[in-house]
A and B are shown apart, each in its own frame.
Chain A
């Protein structure tokens, strides 16, 4: 199993590491028991429920996990930053993996985690602005059992 240069580059110099105090949305996926955990913090402008208008203007993350998990979080943060919420909900794990020039097969579950944790943060934002109905339409984290089966 070997990582691409892109993975190693993001792993060694992860972008957007940190937290945002009073973030508009916070999302966590994964489980330390399984060996990976990601938390994303996002700020949104304008603060609307129009998914095509609202954009991620600031994004930070923290990750506990292997090399792939850290690289995925870093890449996913770069890909989601500046995008509208709609565009972010369209992101797939394959997009993140491709942007990293691929991941070893056993690490593909890590690429899921990145996209899902950011979408979880969007759900959190929508709930906070009073649109839990809209939040429900977004995927977010899988249930624990699904994660274990990957």
Chain B
């Protein structure tokens, strides 16, 4: 299998798995327990918290473990909005992940107004629009660090400056960037940040919300005193230990890995565009995650491409309607101004830690043939 769908999920690094395994059986105790076994589990959780804090340059007491990115996004948006009752506007972007978009839309039930900042054709948010949209009624701005479909990296520092001029909390969904790009919440002006373990070779079902000291937010789940009363429920100790290990590995290997993956990604893009006419690169040419190659293949439909690739053992992804069960193609591509019929032909290759050059060469060999085959069938192809 050639796995090029790392933005969807990643395999767990064997070093992460090794770190986790003792916490299922030998060290299974509840970190809240008084006995020594409980203390040992507590120490493991707190050690993981330190590693995570280190990776994003936060304080340890600013880290709240969650079940993943989606839960962290939910706590940030709902928690901040519900912790006050003066401000009634939430600002987000048109290209957010559904974890943020759907959460914001839910808040309209409680009288919150939601404004979605548009993006340019490269997927960069319109800072002028944001500047005009913010006011004293705005409670939170939630804009992603990098987009999952096209990889475009947003101007986080500029966004945070706009937010802070108006006393607004700035949250960023950094699920696609933590472990891939250096993050310093202090210098970038991030008040809250969501991250997910399984996007950088950590275990699924793990993640965290980083919230700067002084940011007020309500918890979503109520119960025990876990996570400073912000996330009740016994800690997922093996998962948290694994997440910590994934952070530790990313800390030391991220820079090298980024260089290696970028070369492979560019090799893939150059290789296929040499052989296939009428391809469109999605996202920003430079300000883009090093591992992400989103393209639109004109005259064909994305699911057809994926099925053929799958028959060759190649796993990729698509923003096409047909994979989501609706007739609408990706909201991200549409927001970038890509026409419907072109957006239907979108495909995303996302590379990662275990991607090898031979795999990229195989895709370069196979993919043009698949496109050719589908274009022969297509009534939209040029003669």
Q: Are B322 and A64 within 8 A (Cβ)? A: no
> B320 contacts which chain A residues (CB < 8 A)?
35, 66
What is the distance, in angstroms, from B48's C-beta to the closest C-beta of chain A?
Answer: 37
CB of A56 within 8 A of chain B?
A: no
Stretch at the interface among A6-14, A47-55, A86-94, A125-133: A6-14
> B341 contacts which chain A residues (CB < 8 A)?
32-33, 35
Q: Select from chain B the residue with minimum beta-carbon distance to A37.
A: B379
Chain B interface residue count, Cβ-Cβ cutoff 8 angstroms? 23
CB of A116 within 8 A of chain B?
A: no
Given A32-B341, A62-B379, A148-B327, residue A67 in contact with residue B299 (CB < 8 A): no
> A33 contacts which chain B residues (CB < 8 A)?
340-341
Could you mark each residue 301-335 of chain B with 1 if its beta carbon is under 8 Å from any beta carbon of chain A, else 0?
11110011001000000001110010101000000
Q: Select from chain A the residue with minimum beta-carbon distance to B327.
A: A34
Of A8, A11, A35, A39, which is within 8 A of B379 by CB?
A: A39
A33 to B304, CA, bound (A): 16
**Contacts across chains A and B counted by CB atoms under 8 Å:** 67
Q: Are A14 and B379 within 8 A (Cβ)? A: no
Q: Are B322 and A66 within 8 A (Cβ)? A: yes
CB of A76 within 8 A of chain B?
A: no
Within 8 A of A (CB), among B369-383: 376-380
CB of B344 within 8 A of chain A?
A: yes
A14 to B378, CA, bound (A): 12
CB of A65 within 8 A of chain B?
A: yes
Of B304, B327, B344, which is within 8 A of A67 by CB?
A: B304
> Which of A1, A66, A69 has the most chain B CB atoms closer than 10 A to its own CB?
A66
> A106 contacts which chain B residues (CB < 8 A)?
325
CB of B211 within 8 A of chain A?
A: no
> Which of B299, B304, B320, B379 has the most chain A CB atoms closer than 10 A to its own CB?
B379
Given A1-B325, A34-B327, A148-B327, residue A66 in contact with residue B304 (CB < 8 A): yes
A92 to B303, CA, bound (A): 25
Of B307, B311, B329, B378, which is within 8 A of A64 by CB?
A: B378
A70 to B378, CA, bound (A): 10
What is the distance, in angstroms, from A130's C-beta to the closest C-beta of chain B?
Answer: 27
What is the distance, in angstroms, from A60's C-beta to the closest C-beta of chain B?
Answer: 11
Q: Are B378 and A63 within 8 A (Cβ)? A: yes
Q: Select from chain B the residue with minimum beta-carbon distance to A11.
A: B307
Q: Are A35 and B344 within 8 A (Cβ)? A: yes
Q: Are A66 and B301 within 8 A (Cβ)? A: yes
Within 8 A of B (CB), among A83-103: none
CB of A23 within 8 A of chain B?
A: no
CB of B237 within 8 A of chain A?
A: no
What is the distance, in angstroms, from B383's C-beta to the closest C-beta of chain A?
Answer: 10
A38 to B380, CA, bound (A): 10
Q: Are A64 and B325 within 8 A (Cβ)? A: no
Q: Select from chain B the residue with minimum beta-carbon distance to A28.
A: B379
For the complex of A and B, the 5 pairs showing the least CB-CB separation, nearest first, are A66-B322, A32-B341, A62-B379, A66-B303, A106-B325
Given A12-B311, A33-B341, A65-B322, 18 more contacts at CB 8 Å?
A3-B307, A11-B304, A17-B377, A28-B379, A32-B340, A34-B321, A34-B340, A35-B320, A35-B340, A35-B344, A37-B379, A37-B380, A38-B379, A62-B377, A66-B301, A67-B303, A68-B322, A107-B322
